[in-house]
A and B are shown apart, each in its own frame.
Chain A
């Protein structure tokens, strides 16, 4: 399938790479279908691009790159909803990158949990206060 994106122009994606957020993403609840891609093979950063809204692409990263003991407590109900087998999930956190990249932050309080195989995902808001929604990427 061909999709239009504001940041990357028109791109080709496989239908089986479309990830469905049944509940949407907070603030963008009407957008359910996304694709995840990395612009650089070596990069630990990703774009979460809406299939239906060209302007909507969230910058994300693997949280272990900034917090190597990151271990959010995820309810079993999330794994059930995503039909997760053998803990086979991809965890990404949303990144805010201001023009001064030294001030970039990563949201450790609401990880995006993805079951790549089943093409299902959720943004989970953690119940405790242990993780910061605006954790500095560079200390």
Chain B
């Protein structure tokens, strides 16, 4: 991994059209501003990890359990 040190308001440029700026530093938190073309997707890594977990967990249900859930939901409506 490439590691760069940056101070407040300093920036990093990636591939010419992506700019990452340190916009705030408070205690143990760093605020980062990201300027990138619209087709560049930026996410918090925890969200991506959680979605991977949800996808994996969703495969664990049995067909019978899904039917049970469907019945309960239609009963609720």
Contact = CB atoms under 8 A, between A and B. Distances in A.
Per DSSP, are chain B's interface residues mostly helix, strand or loop, or mixed?
helix
B51 A101 contact: no
A26 B66 contact: no
B47 A56 contact: no
Interface string B16-48: 000000000000000000000011011100011
Contacts of B70: 40, 43-45
Interface residues of A, number: 42
Interface residues of B, number: 31
Given A59-B61, A75-B38, A133 B51 contact: yes
B68 A101 contact: yes
Interface of A: 7-8, 25-28, 39-40, 42-45, 47, 55-60, 65-66, 75, 77, 94-97, 99, 101-102, 104-105, 107, 109-110, 123, 125, 127, 133-134, 137-138
